[in-house]
Structure 1
């Protein structure tokens, strides 16, 4: 029999132990929160002066002409960027150790993610004279759900390490599908190098914190020794595994396998900018090993209303030229194939016949390096494949004097920037000076600067601004509180874009900014190029919205059917033309009615889809005007407004009546 006192005493002791455990847990949580706040503050304190150093160096670099002085500034900038990498490594490691790292769960373009890593590291590879390539099989899903920034960080760490320790040959990032279901995929990422390889006794050290193979690695290559440890913890946080295979003297393969949710394949995270290319004629040659790249380019050019012709082979293009077909093209896209007979001669003839066209040759990074003299000699643009997102357009549009894909060639960009009114809320004087100078260098001159949120609210009462650059941590009233007040006051008034400026590198900061109503997030140190890109996008959006009350309408006069385009699309068989137009006569009125019903219901997704379908059918039937009207509706649907759509629909029905009449006359002929 158990003695009662012993039983009661035991219960008391257990109760005390539980209380102590609860207190210990609460203390641990409090310590973790204190540590997280400390990390956030340290991040801010370290990155704020770095913004001043790097920002001023960038401004000075753009003002001086002496090459020796520029080289000194390059060293300052490169050293500052290297210091930031080390700081970020230490902060990332500390956050992981404190269990304060959270993963995002957003749709993203996997191919674009991998290509962005390649673009970032290509200069490093070129400086060493080695190749950096990508292998992405066609069975890999393009769109996934997850944390794209962390995946990019891991791949950059692994590929950067491989480049660091490879002196001959090259590095390849290869993807392979290990398993897949309808909504999930297990993907293996391999970073393969031809470097020295790693001895077996050293391999177990690599994923440990602050660990390198030996002290000479630190002296020769630098770094904190945290990159692989951070990558390992991030991969495990994603539910994946990481490892390596290496043979000393032969090279290494670092790999990770991560399970992903597959995003809706109709998702497009590319955020295509507004651009009118309706006056541009483009020719795309089909001979692509990467059909996805060709499809993406066609999609973008078609989205911007370019007149796109696709031809199966380069040989057919040459036959058309020899037959005397006088086609004018602004852009010609040709894949590099040295096996094609007389490839170089054909391209040189093409250049001779079309001296003003941009001729883009699609090739690998290795081919680009080898063929650079020939490309330069013949005024050709070499673009590395596979390309994704807007990267290809960035390069090609630059050749067409459209450096910013969101800028219409007819715009007076400097004049538009000078009228765009910007309010800066930033408490640090050096940062104020950096941002103001950056804006003025870009061409934004209508600037007001205040040092806290209270003064920002006062400025908004006195004057209208087109955009606010808001520092997050300020005295009196910080950026978060100020943004919430601005959003509360806006109610039904016009929305003012607010761009967060923060020196905090803590994950979750972006979500916090968006949660209080900020539109976007720029991390300090702020690069002038990043600032320019963001501001120009909002400026263009403002210009577009100003025209919303009276959307641009196509000219309502004929011709309603372009018979030259019909011949170009379908050949000279007029019987086939009549079949195509008969199908259009039957389908187009139904498409228009469905579009009108979607507009009445203010169903923006269906508005866009029905407008896109009518536009595509009209383009295929060589019907004029209607595709442009549908494009106007698509743009309004993306802005989630039906203002002006009724007027466009009236025009569409009028155009359809004219097309029906003309098609019936042609059928009877």
Structure 2
């Protein structure tokens, strides 16, 4: 048996200088669940208490050499024996002063000679039960402490795993998005040159492939942010129908390639402007319509947008994406919303994909406070519906400029660019030249600091990850006055890492703004306009 086994015998020590008294007590206390140890010598009692796990001690008060009070005082002063339950056994006067002295010494009770066998047995029984309860509590506390240690260890391991995952995602994002940025940027530059029709077609295919790969990376990162609880919904003034048309126009090419009709049906009661997170709404519609096109071989895909309810200044809008595709078996409908899952293996083999799209749609719908529904019949088609409430800002029709705004050149703007990737450097140089911006290019943070000593600039464009000295370290040194007089120069970082923590780290290091790679030309133009004008 272990020490804390509830069936373990309880050790009871009897200390009395008269052997006949010991024999009498042993006879009264004899039972299977106790182990009786006895001695007529107080010093021997101290040794036994040290060596054995004594739970209860019945101590005679009057003994030669050392009386019971002195013995108990020694026991109570020692950490190893202080928890022994002491019961004094005495034949002296039952006056209150003696009882008080014994209890003050550390005793829990008194037995008076001649002993009443029933009282003695009952008292010892109650203290044995008390000891067992204490041992149970101690055992439970030890188990709780062990569980607590395991929980702390599991929490630390989970946090370490989370840090490793986030670091991996950040590194993966940077390593993959950096070359994609170069590919997309050069494809854009190629499109602005004189090309044959065949060359234009190849460049378009290059853009489609790059954007497809970028979409997969973004999906993985979005799922990571949702799981980490770092995904935020940012509502702003939004034109719902403009958003829908942008998504449809983007996906029309893919539908046309498959000879599918991509139809739209818009309710006339859709308000012009509402408060919505347009980026996440686009993401939901892109995934739903993109999936519908992917899994439809013949027929059509349709987007229907309708107002289904109205309360005060709020409308409930339902976005329905229907197709005439392969449909989904009833038993697989829940499965398609799981991460990295598709309806079945044959679907993956035939149509490809990561199985991330619908998982992200489900999570986004939940975060936006909306409802996601699916109605499907195998081999006949599917309808996915996203329903959400929106605050109405305006119902008035607005005149909207058609086409993309031309990005005008700058006047008297000088920029320092720190970028080590040759493709990205080529791309940035070409863009800045087209915008009539004078610039100098360096390959790391250390060179950027030295160049700032030599020349004045309106703005610094700084890559985050570079050899010798990374961008963040260089920014900190600039802000700390490493280059006298340049402490307040505006700095925009380029980063292929898109996690919120990475952006926050750049801002905390002293960056004024962060542009994620691959970047939109109008975003870069707008930020240069903003920060170069401030300086």
Query: TM tier, shorter chain?
Result: 0.5 to 0.7
| Correspondent of 1:118 among 236, 244, 248 | 248
C-alpha separation in 1, matches of 2:316 and 2:471? 41
State yes or no: 1:254 paired with 2:384.
yes
C-alpha separation in 2, matches of 1:115 and 1:494? 45
State yes or no: 1:393 paired with 2:523.
no
Cross-structure match for 1:192: 322
Task: Work out whether residues 247 and 282 of structure 2, in 8 Å CA contact, stay in contact via their aligned partners in 1.
Answer: yes
Cross-structure match for 1:174: 305
Task: Work out whether residues 301 and 321 of structure 2, in 8 Å CA contact, stay in contact via their aligned partners in 1.
Answer: no
| Correspondent of 1:52 among 170, 179, 182 | 182
State yes or no: 1:431 paired with 2:420.
no
Cross-structure match for 1:11: 141
1:55-81 residue CA offsets vs partner (Å, 9 max, x unmatched): 344445545634444444443333233
C-alpha separation in 1, matches of 2:156 and 2:435? 53
Q: Flag the 1:9–1:221 CA change in 2: closer, same or farther, 3 A.
A: closer
Q: Flag the 1:13–1:205 CA change in 2: closer, same or farther, 3 A.
A: closer
> Equivalent residue of 2:176, what SS?
helix
C-alpha separation in 2, matches of 1:425 and 1:456? 6
Aligned counterparts, 1:334-349, within 5 A: none
C-alpha separation in 1, matches of 2:474 and 2:463? 10
Q: Flag the 1:135–1:491 CA change in 2: closer, same or farther, 3 A.
A: farther
State yes or no: 1:292 paired with 2:390.
no
Cross-structure match for 2:515: 522
C-alpha separation in 1, matches of 2:453 and 2:308? 56
C-alpha separation in 1, matches of 2:238 and 2:506? 23
How many residues align? The count is: 401
State yes or no: 1:130 paired with 2:123.
no
Give unmatched runs, 5+ long, in structure 1. 267-290, 298-391, 408-412, 547-669
Task: Work out whether residues 490 and 532 of structure 2, in 8 Å CA contact, stay in contact via their aligned partners in 1.
Answer: no
C-alpha separation in 2, matches of 1:115 and 1:508? 33
> Equivalent residue of 1:224, what SS?
coil
C-alpha separation in 2, matches of 1:197 and 1:50? 34
| Correspondent of 2:456 among 454, 464, 477 | 464
C-alpha separation in 2, matches of 1:487 and 1:138? 53
> Equivalent residue of 1:48, what SS?
helix
> Equivalent residue of 1:525, what SS?
coil
* TM-score normalised per structure 1: 0.52
Cross-structure match for 1:81: 211
Which one has a larger percent strand, Structure 1 or Structure 2? 2
Larger radius of gyration: 2
Q: Flag the 1:131–1:107 CA change in 2: closer, same or farther, 3 A.
A: same
Give unmatched runs, 5+ long, in structure 2. 1-128
C-alpha separation in 2, matches of 1:163 and 1:435? 35
* TM-score normalised per structure 2: 0.63
Task: Work out whether residues 139 and 177 of structure 1, in 8 Å CA contact, stay in contact via their aligned partners in 2.
Answer: no
Q: Flag the 1:19–1:32 CA change in 2: closer, same or farther, 3 A.
A: same
| Correspondent of 1:109 among 235, 238, 241 | 238
Cross-structure match for 2:466: 474
Q: Flag the 1:122–1:67 CA change in 2: closer, same or farther, 3 A.
A: closer
Task: Work out whether residues 424 and 468 of structure 1, in 8 Å CA contact, stay in contact via their aligned partners in 2.
Answer: yes
1:248-302 residue CA offsets vs partner (Å, 9 max, x unmatched): 5654221233466x49x49xxxxxxxxxxxxxxxxxxxxxxxx733xx21xxxxx
Cross-structure match for 2:295: 165
Cross-structure match for 2:355: 225
Task: Work out whether residues 499 and 522 of structure 1, in 8 Å CA contact, stay in contact via their aligned partners in 2.
Answer: yes
C-alpha separation in 1, matches of 2:179 and 2:471? 19
- CA drift at 1:138: 3.6
- CA drift at 1:227: 0.9
Task: Work out whether residues 413 and 532 of structure 2, in 8 Å CA contact, stay in contact via their aligned partners in 1.
Answer: no
Cross-structure match for 2:173: 43
Task: Work out whether residues 51 and 431 of structure 1, in 8 Å CA contact, stay in contact via their aligned partners in 2.
Answer: yes
Task: Work out whether residues 327 and 378 of structure 2, in 8 Å CA contact, stay in contact via their aligned partners in 1.
Answer: yes
Aligned counterparts, 1:334-413, within 5 A: 392-395=400-403, 403-404=405-406, 413=409
C-alpha separation in 1, matches of 2:459 and 2:468? 22
- CA drift at 1:423: 1.7
Cross-structure match for 1:28: 158
Task: Work out whether residues 416 and 461 of structure 2, in 8 Å CA contact, stay in contact via their aligned partners in 1.
Answer: yes
State yes or no: 1:448 paired with 2:440.
yes
C-alpha separation in 2, matches of 1:151 and 1:512? 28
C-alpha separation in 1, matches of 2:291 and 2:266? 19
C-alpha separation in 2, matches of 1:134 and 1:483? 51
- CA drift at 1:175: 4.4
Task: Work out whether residues 415 and 440 of structure 2, in 8 Å CA contact, stay in contact via their aligned partners in 1.
Answer: yes
C-alpha separation in 1, matches of 2:146 and 2:331? 49
- CA drift at 1:451: 2.2
Q: Flag the 1:535–1:80 CA change in 2: closer, same or farther, 3 A.
A: closer
- CA drift at 1:493: 9.1
Q: Flag the 1:491–1:460 CA change in 2: closer, same or farther, 3 A.
A: closer
CA RMSD of aligned residues (A): 3.8
Which one has a larger percent helix, Structure 1 or Structure 2? 1
Cross-structure match for 1:155: 285
> Equivalent residue of 2:160, what SS?
helix
